[in-house]
Amino acid sequence: MRRPVVVLWLSAWWLSAWWLSAWWLSALLALGCARAERYPPRPPAADKSNEPKAVPLIPADWVWLEPKPGPDLRIVFVPATAAEWSQLPGFWNVAPAVPLGLPTIHLGLEALPAVAGWALAEQARSVRIKVPRGLPDPTPWLPPGNPPTMAKWRLGKKLFFAEVLPISNAEPISRADRTACVHCHRPEHGFAEKLATNRHGNRNTLSLINVVYRKQLFWDGRADSLEQTIVREPHDEKLPVADRPARHAWGSIVAVIREDEDYRREFQEAFGVRQPTQDAIAQALATYLRTILSGDSAVDRAAGPGGLNADTLEAFLDDDLLKRGGLKRDTAARQILLGHALFHGKARCHLCHPPPLYFDGDFHNIGLEASDLRQLLGEDLGRFEFVPVGLKEARLRGAYRTPSLRALPRTGPYMHEGKMDTLSAVVEFFNRGVSARSNLFVAKPLLVSPGRARTLELDSQEKAALELFLRALDGGPVDAMIATPKP
Ligand code: HEC
Ligand code: HEC
């Protein structure tokens, strides 16, 4: 600190013209420095450990983690057990918080409370979905990270019907080089396809009806959430285009819709992101998929507190069901009751297909003969391949997910390779066709008794009754708000 003072002193002597001023300046500096030295050291900074810390800014390319700005309508599922259910007029209801008279209440209020009340009411406005009878409440199945809202749903629905999935390397990507979710998951076929296996892969297209209730997705359960079925890993984005449909990895969707001005605006509205991101796309599509519901089957309607009842069943049988079998109402009702008893008794289907969803959330090898292609490819491991090391069980070799039985007449062909075209073929398979030659490790008593496949010994009347019961489990059509592209 003294060095500059000495230098200044010397320069002052040498610069005669500046002698006086330099002397004064250096003297001042010397004094100033000396004074500064006399000050005590700065006190330590006040202890702020108890004060709330500033949240670090989210990096710009993670913008999708920010909560959506501005109000958006929540989507609320109302199950048949809720008191409100019977008051909802249709499947899709946009409900104001205070149904009637809100403006009148406002008139009598001071300006400030009126505005606050209005804002609260706006916040509480919601879309209320009347969950079809027979289905459980979907709310516990919703992931906390992706609560359903109207803007996400609208966007998800638009994406579902849009041709935004490139299936060729052509540049630029024309319409003909793209496909859409809806081309394989067809609303008129129960959101599945009439093909045995999808033309790009070797799996039967899964129906998306009631998919909200699934914890493990795909025939082999390789995805854990609906969000994951669109893209699972970052490297899915880089998959060769030709491999995408077979892997069901639609990473390329981001690149296509980023080009579109309307999408950019809609993503901004729904998520507050400037660019559509993979994450936001997955959230939007999953939100839409969770509203594809079908229930309210003849069996659901007729099931009173005391169980299925022939009288009520008669009233609920629809004409399609009767026409098919050429049956009178009362005969059909009796057959369905017999089918119901077989399903839960002699045929033991309920062991893996328990109501109300008619699946057990598990995977089984049910003794299907592997197709020629499969045999060429080597052993069909099914679920086994995707179970983490340490948890692999022998029974999961060649095992596939238990499907639901709630929309069967709409969703054939059946089984993971779509090998059975009709429900009577399925019933006959369980009756006599289970193959002990396949790598059958099933522990359930229906399918094996030690060393051999079991038969059910159903006579033709019983088989017909079981099939009719399966048909009577078919729910009502998916609401037009969901199943048609119109907004
Ligand atoms: C080329 C036909 C095809 C297209 C296009 C397609 N899917 Fe699929 N989807 C399938 C097939 C086949 C399966 C079964 C795959 C498997 O299990 O390995 C499936 C399975 C699913 C599943 C799992 C259902 C369940 O119950 O586990 C979901 C969800 C799904 N698709 C949603 C979509 C969405 C959303 C899109 C659009 C981004 C889409 N799919 C596009 C054929 C297709
Ligand atoms: C051991 C458990 C188990 C039992 C018992 C069982 N199923 Fe299944 N069921 C499954 C599994 C798993 C699949 C899918 C198998 C596959 O594709 O590899 C399936 C498939 C089906 C399908 C095809 C659905 C579709 O969408 O492709 C129908 C229909 C069916 N079962 C009806 C029945 C009936 C009727 C009974 C009673 C006779 C029965 N199941 C007994 C586990 C079982």
pLDDT tens, residue by residue, 125-143: 899 999 999 999 999 999 9
pLDDT tens, residue by residue, 230-289: 876 767 767 777 777 788 888 778 888 888 999 999 998 888 877 888 889 999 999 999
Going by C-alpha positions, the residue among 167, 153, 188, 168 that lies closest to residue 291 is 153
Higher pLDDT, 159 or 257: 159
Ligand 2 contact via 444 beta carbon (within 6 Å): yes
pLDDT tens, residue by residue, 408-432: 999 999 999 999 999 999 999 999 8
Mean pLDDT of the chain: 81
The pLDDT of residue 241 is 77
Residue 45 banded pLDDT, cuts 50, 70, 90: low
Ligand 2 contact via 419 beta carbon (within 6 Å): no
Q: How many whole angstroms separate alpha carbon 91 and alpha carbon 128?
A: 8
Q: How many whole angstroms separate alpha carbon 201 and alpha carbon 410?
A: 21
Higher pLDDT, 104 or 477: 477
Average pLDDT over residues 153-170: 90
Ligand 2 contact via 413 beta carbon (within 6 Å): no
Q: Which residue has the tokens 């230098």?
A: 7
Q: Exposed (0-12), middle (13-18) or buried (19+): which is 354, by Cβ within 10 Å?
A: middle
Q: How many whole angstroms separate alpha carbon 341 and alpha carbon 269?
A: 52
pLDDT tens, residue by residue, 376-419: 777 778 999 999 999 998 888 889 999 999 999 999 999 999 99
Q: How far is the CA of 403 from the centre of ligand 2 (A)?
A: 7
- The distance from CA 301 to its chain's CA centroid, rounded to whole angstroms, is 27
Going by C-alpha positions, the residue among 344, 322, 351, 337 that lies closest to residue 465 is 337
Average pLDDT over residues 363-372: 82
Going by C-alpha positions, the residue among 411, 412, 415 that lies closest to residue 402 is 415
Ligand 1 contact via 157 beta carbon (within 6 Å): no
Ligand 2 contact via 430 beta carbon (within 6 Å): yes
Q: How far is the CA of 146 from the centre of ligand 1 (A)?
A: 20
Residue 225 near residue 219, CB atoms below 8 Å: no
Q: How far is the CA of 205 from the centre of ligand 1 (A)?
A: 6
Q: How many whole angstroms separate alpha carbon 311 and alpha carbon 324?
A: 21
The pLDDT of residue 309 is 80
- Inform me whether the pLDDT recorded for 36 exceeds 60: no
Task: Report how far apart, in Å, the C-alpha atoms of 266 and of each of 258, 272, 277 are.
Answer: 11, 9, 12
Residue 335 banded pLDDT, cuts 50, 70, 90: very high
Ligand approaching nearest to the C-alpha of 166: 1
- Inform me whether the pLDDT recorded for 210 exceeds 50: yes
pLDDT tens, residue by residue, 90-139: 999 997 755 444 444 444 455 555 555 555 665 568 999 999 999 999 99
Ligand approaching nearest to the C-alpha of 342: 2
